[in-house]
Amino acid sequence: MDAFDLSAFEAPNPKCLANILLGESRPKGAAILEIGNEIKPVDLYCYLYAKFGPPNGMQNFLRRDDSDNMIHWDWTLAGERGLVQFLGMNYRTEIFLIGDISKDGVTKESIVSAIKVDIPTLSKRVGEIRKSLEKWKHFVNPYQRLKSSIDSMKRELDLAGLNPDDDAIENISSIDDMDSYTEKWKEKSDKYSKALGIAFGIRSMLPVLAEAFVNLLIFACARPEIRSDRRLMDDLYKRPIDVRIRSLHINCVGFERPIDYSSKECAEYHSLVNERNDLLHGNVAVDKLCFEEIYFNKRVPIFNEYRSMWERSLRAEIDAVGLPHVQAEIDVVDRFIDYVLSCMEKRNREGIELMMSRRDLGYNPANYRPGVLLPEALPDFRMGFSTSQEKSSDNV
């Protein structure tokens, strides 16, 4: 076949199509082609809709009425040489050539070229169909991105099996212990240096996680008059975090009662923010960083008590970074989030919990609606032929 012409095909109604596919005289032989972005999926969808009407293929009746499907749309077109089936999937469009057409040397290039040439002839109708579609923006959920990072770092920290009391290294007792002491010190130092970096990262991110949760609430639940005004939304996000929390019930829908910022959960979170500021900004909070007292007679140091090398170095860093407090601070953020959610109406709370769990979220800029667009994992599969069923065989 020198050229491919979709004008030679029509879209049978589903009942007629079923008779063709299931009847004894059904077309024999098949071949599979696939299209990625040689033609945009939305362009292909609008074109097929404009030329042949709504999807007519059998797969349309097998899909669930949501976005969690492996095949989202199916046009099956009939011509003198057989059938051409367009299947819109998650990662590509698969094209089945069924019948004698599978032996005609049709290529994806010839199909794409024919469609691109034909689209301008239907430009008005194609444009109308595109305008009828809802356009959403798909974006990475900042809350879930942070949550996943913290969870991953915490798992790594747990796997390190740290126990500063049991791992403490005593001072060297004799020259004979020098080699083993040096080896042991390097091992512990490497292990704890890495762990302290992870702990620092977790503690720095935890208040940001709580703030990302609050911002997610605002994004999802802001009152319509606020949501529709970009300036108001930007102003809301820039307010101090405690003001955002205190005013959630005012600026957002779905709350049964106000947030009590004097509650234990909020008070613990507020303290956590202050701790994070000292940690992240390198504040010289002497009382929190102090690990010993030393007296001096002019330039002569007189120790208040003797401490081991472990206590003066790694143990001091462990306490300064707050390694023992990581789990407790994770619990503080969890309790804060649970408390804020408890102030919401059940239906709204369940919607927020769903959004919190998803890496990707959607936003419709036309009506300011947020939502979950796709399943957590987009399924994929390949259709093909068995070894005894070649592309040009008489079997479909």
Element housing 217 (H / E): helix 178-221
E strand intervals along 318-385: 360-364, 369-371
Cα gap 213→353, rounded to integer Å: 10
Element housing 69 (H / E): none
Q: Are 215 and 145 in contact (CB under 8 A)?
A: no
pLDDT value of position 289: 57
Which sequence spans correspond to the domains of the chain? 6-132, 137-371
Give the rounded percent of residues in the chain with a pLDDT score beyond 90: 52
pLDDT value of position 315: 65
User: CB pairs under 8 A, 24+ apart, for 187-191?
Assistant: 188/310, 188/314, 189/314, 191/160, 191/162, 191/167
Cα gap 384→391, rounded to integer Å: 9
Cα gap 25→12, rounded to integer Å: 16
Residue by residue, pLDDT tens for the chain (396 residues) are 457 888 889 999 888 888 888 877 778 888 999 999 999 999 999 999 999 999 998 888 888 888 988 999 999 999 988 999 999 999 999 999 999 998 888 999 999 999 999 999 999 999 999 999 999 999 999 999 999 999 999 999 888 887 776 766 666 665 656 667 677 767 777 778 788 888 888 988 999 999 999 999 999 999 999 999 999 999 999 999 999 999 999 999 999 999 999 999 999 999 998 877 766 655 445 566 566 678 788 888 887 776 766 666 666 666 666 677 889 999 999 999 999 999 999 999 999 999 999 999 998 988 888 988 888 777 777 766 544 444 443 333
Plot region of 34 (φ>0 → left; ψ -120 to 50 → alpha; else → beta):
beta
DSSP code at position 252: B
- Tell me which residue has tokens 């079997």: 395
Fold of 6-132: TATA-Binding Protein (3.30.310)
**Start-to-end C-alpha separation, the chain:** 21
The whole model's pTM is what?
A: 0.78
Say how many residues make up the chain: 396
Q: Are 140 and 359 in contact (CB under 8 A)?
A: yes
pLDDT value of position 287: 60
Distances (CA, A) of 354 to 18, 229, 376: 39, 25, 11
Nearest CA among 94, 116, 130, 93 for reference residue 6: 116
Going by C-beta distance under 8 Å and a sequence separation of 6 or more, which residues neighbour residue 218? 233, 236, 237, 244, 248, 251, 252
pLDDT value of position 356: 95
